[in-house]
Chain A
Amino acid sequence: MWAPLKGLLATAAIASAVSAQAENLSVGLASFPESLQPGLSTNVSLNVNRQMMDGLTARDNAGMIVPNLAETWELVDDTTMRFHLREGVKFHDGSTFSAEDVKYTLDHALDPKNAYGMLGRISAITEVRIADPKTVDIVTAKPFPTLPVALADILIEPRLYAEKLGAEGQRRRPVGTGPFEFIRYIPGDRIELKANPNYWAGKPSIDSMTLRSIPEAATRISSLLAGETQIVEEVPVDLVQQVENNSALKANSVNTSVGLVLTYDVTKPPFDNPRVREALDYAVDKELILKEILKGKGEVLQGQLLTSNTFGHNPAVKARAFDPARAKKLLAEAGYPNGFSTSISTMSGRYLSDVDIANAVSGMLNDVGVKVSINVMEPGIFLKNLGSPARELGPIYMIGWYSFGDADFAMTWYTGSNRRTAWTNAEFDKLFSTARSTNDAAGRKAAYARMGEILHAENPSMFLFGVPTIYGVSKKLSGFQAPSDRVLRLNRAKLN
């Protein structure tokens, strides 16, 4: 009975090996979009749609803004930015890209009726004007320095195609100007793409690509080990070794722009006392946690919210050194010589090793007399509480704030109007508005640097880590780098 079965299985194995020999790149994704409609407000859908579509601007792997369908841009006046479009670009359906498509896409996104998920990023836009077929002026209500950053997430759709087939058409068969063309989408399983021979930046060297949904980490790593995939996303820290032990594979780690923090409820004792917050910062050995739990991947936040790869990061501000004796002394001075009990609320699996980190922090705080219980919450409930004014998340909650490379996107959570902390500071708020409403990069940088100092001095949160993301990659693949925004860039990738 076994021999024929074995034969059958062997045939199947050979068949899959043969198909792998074509220049097909297979990627194991941890999160997979349930729809290909452009403009869904998640990086998950951006990660897939970006393969087929371009924006006016784009981020590179380090998170810096680079030209994409717009070659250059400049300010015409304080509220108008002019974008010069790339020439000779064609959509996958053969139509030529022009200013009409930019206007169509932005107008479509700005119309609240269309429920465009990324609308929040660009809602400051009041008008999109076509100056000529190769030039677009974008007018904003106020100066909007982060416009090029925001536009990196708005993917340009072909006007004629979209008007003819509507959102339905783009969802069924997305057409863009991107490096890969759509072949097939099987919901929950895979999307198949082929190289766009007319890509404006050159035809990708991979002939075709399969993006597979493999949500379970252990299976994802297995698929890489078995050679079924050549790239997998989000290798958990405890499986990195398994990848590195295999001579055909490597682990590529990159720092994202997510700053993982523990935010205090400063309205209630003991955290209404700034000295207590400072004491706790001394009590946690962040370097040790980074080394032991994150295996040295990622970075310790330098006493501020922003990761070092973010515009507005203040290099002069440094994390407090681990000093439990000083922590105990400060706690005694604040009136807590014997410590106190408190709790940390966190989601599980949202950020790399989140619960493990919370537990390690809890252990270290215990050493200075602060007893911490960990309260793991289901994400829906956690986010509901985070968004509600009462913020019933207990005395401390753990969260990661994204900056998308620019201070504005992360700092907003510490302002009085948009706060996710009870802590407020008039100077901080004023600096934030100043930085948001000027196009002067040096001025913005100075404002954010001062805001970093304020955060460091007042400790509204304990600033822990810049969270890494780890990719497992076959050594046969070259020209691929782990992207800090978790949006794959594969047009230069090559299989040897």
Chain B
Amino acid sequence: MFGYLWRRLRYLPVSLLLVLFITFSVLRLTGNPIDIYLDMNRTPEQVEALTQKLHLDRPLVVQFGIYLRDVVKGDFGESLQFGVPALEVVLDRLGNTIELVVVALGLAVVLGIAGGAIAALRRDKTADFLISFLAVLGQSMPSFWLGILLIQFFALRLGWLPTSGQGGLAHIVLPALTLAAYLIPNFILITRTGVIETSNEQFVVTATAKGIPAARVLLVHIMPNTLNPILSFLGLQLGKLIGGSIITESIFAWPGIGRLMVSSIFQRDIPVVIAAICIMCIAIVLANLLVDVALSLLDPRIREA
């Protein structure tokens, strides 16, 4: 198991380094912190101080080297806009994004698998068409539009849910649904295909022939065998989900890491952007690892490979 973990994790520093370098260079090359942070009426002393602090008079590679040296020590630097440690700013928000992503993922898995199973069992009947239709619709709708529609309907028309912000349980429903809407169709289609394929397997036919109730056949014999593609897909989609959270967080004023990143990119607040990207990279890698471990526990074939 440790060998397996090591094989999976050994390239993490390399990918992080690449991500750091690209982010740093792109942000530094496309915007000068002096023009962005300092007031228009800045004094030469202020310019000088910031130049010294960020080593703006040195070549880009040197700047990156100095920055990297601090990052390795766990010091991502101070947020240029706000003089607060960048990592602190990011960690403050991380929990909110995780909360949103986990709830969205939960919604997507539950609704997706349920929808997919129903569609498969009612194959080529009305329910199947309806679910497939909704799936295609959900996938084609841009999330900012869907989000605003949901606000209009549930918050303004019905008055059931708050429009935005963070608070009780009610606050997370709409953003999580918006974020999940993109994934649900995929889960539906994968589950549907999986269930239909597995239903044709001989052991299922045998189970049915033995007179086992249909519900038990589905839950005990069919579903476990369709979990594998669903889990793999889940791992693949995590990155997308975190990417999608950027838009969802902006629409619903959700104080997460995605929104922080957008505003920091506009402000060329490199320490915050890099800290956020690092944390996200690590989160995605770890989550994928978790999925793989789960897969290998579920499926002995993977463990042995």
Contact = CB atoms under 8 A, between A and B. Distances in A.
A35 B82 contact: yes
A41 B82 contact: no
Nearest to A36: B82
A149 to B, nearest CB: 12
Nearest to B81: A34
Interface string B18-36: 0000000001001110111
Contacts of B81: 34-35, 40
Most buried by B among A121, A212, A218: A218
A409 interface: yes
Interface stretch (B2-10, B120-128, B250-258, B278-286): B250-258
B84 interface: yes
A291 to B, nearest CB: 28
B41 A409 contact: yes
A215 B162 CA distance: 16
B35 A383 contact: yes
A190 interface: yes
Contacts of B267: 380
B43 interface: yes
A296 interface: no
A78 to B, nearest CB: 22
A384 interface: yes
Interface residues of A, number: 54
B266 A213 contact: no
A223 B174 CA distance: 14
A488 B37 CA distance: 23
B169 interface: yes
Contact of B164 (A33, A34, A120, A222): A222
Interface string A32-57: 01110100110000000000000000
B160 A13 contact: yes
Contact of A219 (B79, B163, B166): B163
B79 A381 contact: no
11 contacts: A8-B169, A12-B161, A12-B169, A13-B159, A13-B170, A37-B82, A120-B43, A188-B93, A188-B260, A222-B156, A402-B40
Interface of B: 27, 30-32, 34-43, 45-46, 49-50, 79, 81-84, 89, 92-93, 96, 148, 151-152, 155-156, 159-170, 173, 250-253, 255-256, 259-260, 263, 266-268
Interface of A: 6, 8-10, 12-13, 15-16, 33-35, 37, 40-41, 112, 115, 117-121, 123, 167, 171, 186-190, 212-216, 218-219, 222-223, 225-226, 228, 378-381, 383-384, 386-388, 402, 409, 412-413
Given A383-B31, A388-B32, 6 more contacts: A121-B41, A188-B93, A212-B253, A222-B164, A225-B156, A380-B31
